[in-house]
Structure 1
Amino acid sequence: MNANDRKITGFTMAGHAMVHTYELSVPIMMTVWLVEFAANSATLGTVVAVGYGLFGVGALPGGLLVDRFGSRRLIVACLVGMGLSFLLLSIAPGIVGITLALGLWGLSASVYHPAGLSLISKAVDQRGSAFAYHGMAGNIGIAAGPFVTAILLVAVDWRMAAVILAVPALLAALAGLTVEFDETAAVAATDGGRHTADIDSFREFVSASRGLFTVGFATVFALVLFNGLYYRGMLTFLPEMLGEFLEPLVDIAPEEGIGPIPDGRLAREFDLAQYLYAGLLAVGIGGQYVGGRLTDTVSVERGLALMLGLLGVIALLFVPAAGTLPTLLLVSVALGFVLFAMQPLSQATIAKYSPPERRGLSFGYTYLAIFGIGALGASIVGTVLTYASTTAVFVLLAGFEGIALALALSLIVRE
């Protein structure tokens, strides 16, 4: 990589890691909010769905803003907005304040993916390496978010933890304003630096959207939507459910090697389930690597169907496996590995069923499905967890993947 490539890769890696660090810190904080605000899972699931929903819904207009204002400005605005949202979260007086803070986070974070991916595609000569590092940074953020948040909650209360978490995004924004790089270096090498947006009006947007939604792409859109419901529903309440599973299996006393844990807030917030949650997300780094290799060795439709089938089976096995500690650890590792092995396969499938000239628009729509509509998974699972049972939650999640699997099989049939 040349100097420009390295600067942009480092900048986008920082942005991608920050987005997912904040995204996955929220489920850990929810375990505290459930107690502090005496809220049930249905209420908090809906509150979190607001922020996660805006995270997805904003991706489509975010892509249009990138074409008009450039990637650097949008990424810096994203980082500043995320930092300010967590500062606002730290002074939230109750559920309404948390909702507003998470809504600001969702709007701010929503522009990152179209901005970051566009910047790499237009400015980096060695795009393959840059995309690889960019993806790894995102997975590191996914694992670091819950782990760092859990560590902070042992030492400080959740409000101070939110303040501390806000600092890295603000520092990254400052770095983005000061570092020098060429946003169109790769484009300049091919067309003299001229770049115009493909879509300049609402009429062109509607026309391009109609052309994009072939039967194949519509099937992929629906497939990633149901997988998004599984992803968000699973990850949002998994720390709470893991805590329920671990309670009868693990009895941690102060004399057993982890040091004294005082009564009160620290004792309540120290939760082994949070560390198990962070660990299964860390396993996803290896899953993404394997999923990426599979895209080069098998048809993406068959690889996708395999992963969807495995995720459905894992959901059905989770509650029975939670009966012993070894099997709970095994099923948790399997979930983390397969869930993120899905990502490169789904991205390759989206690319296959969309024309190159509309690739940005296609990812805008699919991010809308995965993170926007998929955010309803948090609300749905929270409601089921409140009024039904944990077993019903995992059966519901398996149902989401069963529908997605049927759609993947329809793609295989049409091959």
Structure 2
Amino acid sequence: MDSNDRAIVSFAMLSHAMVHTYELSIPILMLLWAGEFSISIGFLAVVVSAGYAMFGLGALPTGILADIYGSRLLIVCCLVGMGVSFLVLSVAPSLPVLVLALVCWGIAASIYHPAGLSLISTGVVDRGTAFAYHGMAGNAGIALGPLVTALLLLVVDWRLVTAILSIPALLVALYAFRARFDETAGTKDRQGEPDSSDEPSATSLSELWAGSKALFATGFSVVFMIVMLNGLFYRGTLTMLPEILATFLEPVVGDLQLFAPNSPMAEEFQPSRFFYTGLLMVGIGGQYVGGKLTERVATERGLMVVLASLSITALAFIPAARAGIISLVVVSAALGFLLFMIQPLYQATIAQYSPADTRGLSYGFTYVGTFGVGALGAAITGLIYEEIGVFAMFATLAGFALLASGLSYSLLANGSIRGDSSTAESGGD
């Protein structure tokens, strides 16, 4: 990598880590918000889904804006918006203000993925290495965000925690003004290559409509359904797991004392928070294995097998959790591993089933499906958990995964409907 590549990758890695730090700190904080605002955890999940929905729905227009205004400006807006939203969370006096802050966070966070992936694809010459580092940074945020949140909650109130969490994003935004890089250096270096299209960007509604029709006329329409179903599983699982783990761990480790019994830290210590963090850390290994599989097997086959395995794991979760702590650890580790193993597989599949000149648009739709439509997973699982029960919730999640596995099989059986790209590029979440 040259100096321009390093500057872009450093900025993108920091920003990517910030987005996922906030995303996965919210389920940890939900347990405290439920008590603070006197709302059940199931209905709070519905409330939180509003913010998560905006996280995905804003991705499509952001991809278009990045082509017009450049990625750096949009990513700075993302960072400032997320930081300010968490500052508002820290002083939220009521549930409506909490919802407003979460929606503002979702709108700000939705900016990152299309703008960040666009920045790497147009500004970096060594894109493969850049995407790898970018994905690793996202995984670090996914794992460390909840851990940092849980550790801070041991010593300070949740309001101060959210205020403290706002600081890193604002610091990275300041760093953006000092960083020096050329956003188009990678495109200039690759002039004449098949993927460096000189086609105009979709900067009007007519161009967006035409590009979208061309994209969904290919097998991408099926991939989009798979991504959407995976998003429902992903969001529904990660939103409700802290509450479910707390329920099953309390009888087992309720008497565990790591701190003085009457100390504030003993009062705030919740083993489920750290168990949840461990589950997410296992997911880093899943990301690695999934990435390796994209080079060794047909991605459609990989998706089919992993999604079917996720369905089985979801159905087995409650019986395993009730059987004891060891089986709970095993099934939780399997869930975390498989949940994140899917991401590089579907990223590679998207590249295979989208024409090269609509690749940016395909990523925009991908994040609408994963995080926008997928946000309904939090509302659906929260309501089912509240009204029917935890096993029905996991059975619903298993249904999402099984349907997605069947769609993956249909892609495998009809490989001729791929787009015009034969080379997979994985940007990672």
> Is TM (by shorter chain) over 0.5?
yes
- Shift of the 267–392 alpha-carbon distance from structure 1 to 2, 3 Å rule, reads farther
Alignment of 1:213-252 (within 5 A): 213-214=216-217, 216-252=219-255
| SS in structure 2 of the partner of residue 155 of structure 1 | coil
User: Normalising by the residue count of structure 1, what TM-score does the alignment of the two structures yield?
Assistant: 0.96
The reply to whether residue 136 of structure 1 matches residue 128 of structure 2 is: no
AA partner of residue 25 (structure 2): S
What is the match of residue 316 of structure 2? 317
Q: Secondary structure, in 3 states, of the residue corresponding to 1:248?
A: helix
- The equivalent of 1:269 in structure 2 is 268
Q: Which residue of 2 aligns with 1:296?
A: 295
With over 3 angstroms needed to count, the CA separation of the structure-2 counterparts of 1:215 and 1:71, relative to structure 1, is closer
CA distance in 1, matches of 2:285, 2:102: 30
1:194 Cα deviation after fit: 10
Residue of structure 2 in register with 1:3 after alignment: 3
Give secondary structure in 2 for the equivalent of 1:39.
coil
Query: Which residue of 2 is the match for residue 147 of structure 1?
Result: 147
Structure 2 contact 218–353 (Cα < 8 Å) conserved: no
Q: CA offsets, 1:42-68, max 9 Å, x none? A: 321121111100000000000011001
- Superposition TM-score, scaled by structure 2 size: 0.93
For 2:301, the aligned partner's letter is: R
Q: Which residue of 2 aligns with 1:329?
A: 329
Measured after TM superposition, the shift of residue 188 of structure 1 is 2.1
Q: Distance in 2 between matches of 1:228 and 1:61?
A: 19
The match for 1:306 is 305
Mapped to 1, the partners of 2:261 and 2:77 lie a distance apart of: 40
The letter for the 1-side match of 2:270 is D
Confirm or deny that 1:206 pairs with 2:203: no
Q: Which amino acid aligns with 1:165?
A: L
Q: How many residues align?
A: 411
Read off the aligned partner of 1:149 and give its amino acid letter.
Answer: T
Q: Which residue matches 1:374?
A: 374
Listed as ranges, the matches of 1:11-410 within 5 Å are 11-191=11-191, 197-214=200-217, 216-254=219-257, 258-262=258-262, 266-322=265-321, 323-410=323-410
Structure 2: distance between partners of 1:253 and 1:205:
57
Q: CA deviation at 1:247?
A: 1.3
Partners of 1:365 and 1:28 lie apart in 2 by 28
Distance 1:253 1:411 in 2: 49
After superposition, what is the alpha-carbon deviation per residue over 1:383-409, rounded to whole angstroms, capped at 9, x for unaligned? 011111111111111011111111111
**Is the CA contact 2:42–2:386 (under 8 Å) kept in the aligned structure 1?**
yes
1:187–1:195 CA contact under 8 A, matched in 2: no
CA distance in 1 between counterparts of 2:30 and 2:277 reads 15
**Aligned-partner residue type, residue 202 of structure 1:** L
What secondary structure is seen at the aligned counterpart in 1 of 2:251? coil
Per-residue Cα deviation, 1:246-277 (whole angstroms, up to 9, x for no partner)? 112223343xxx121437x7555321011010
Residue 101 of structure 1, CA deviation: 0.6
Partner of 2:422: none
Contact kept in structure 1, 2:29 and 2:158, CA below 8 Å: yes
When residues 84 and 196 of structure 1 are mapped into structure 2, their CA distance, relative to the original with a 3 A threshold, is farther
**What code does the residue aligned with 1:240 have?**
E
Question: What SS does the aligned partner of 1:301 have?
Answer: helix
Structure 1 unmatched ranges of 5 or more:
none
Q: Which runs of 5+ in 2 are unaligned?
A: 416-429
What is the CA deviation profile of residues 119-153 of structure 1, one whole-angstrom value per residue up to 9, with x for unaligned ones? 11111111111100000000000001111111111
- The percent of aligned pairs where both chains have the same amino acid is 53
Distance across 2 between alignment mates of 1:205 and 1:194: 16
**What letter corresponds to residue 183 of structure 1 in structure 2?**
E
Moved more, 122-131 or 267-276: 267-276
Q: Work out whether residues 188 and 194 of structure 1, in 8 Å CA contact, stay in contact via their aligned partners in 2.
A: no
In 2: Cα distance, 1:261 partner to 1:284 partner: 33
Give distance in 2, aligned partners of 1:303 and 1:253. Answer: 41
Contact 2:259 2:266 in 1 (8 A): no
Q: CA deviation at 1:414?
A: 1.2
Give the whole-Å Cα distance in 1 for the aligned partners of 2:113 and 2:74. 10
Taking only aligned residues, the RMSD between alpha carbons, in angstroms, comes to: 1.6
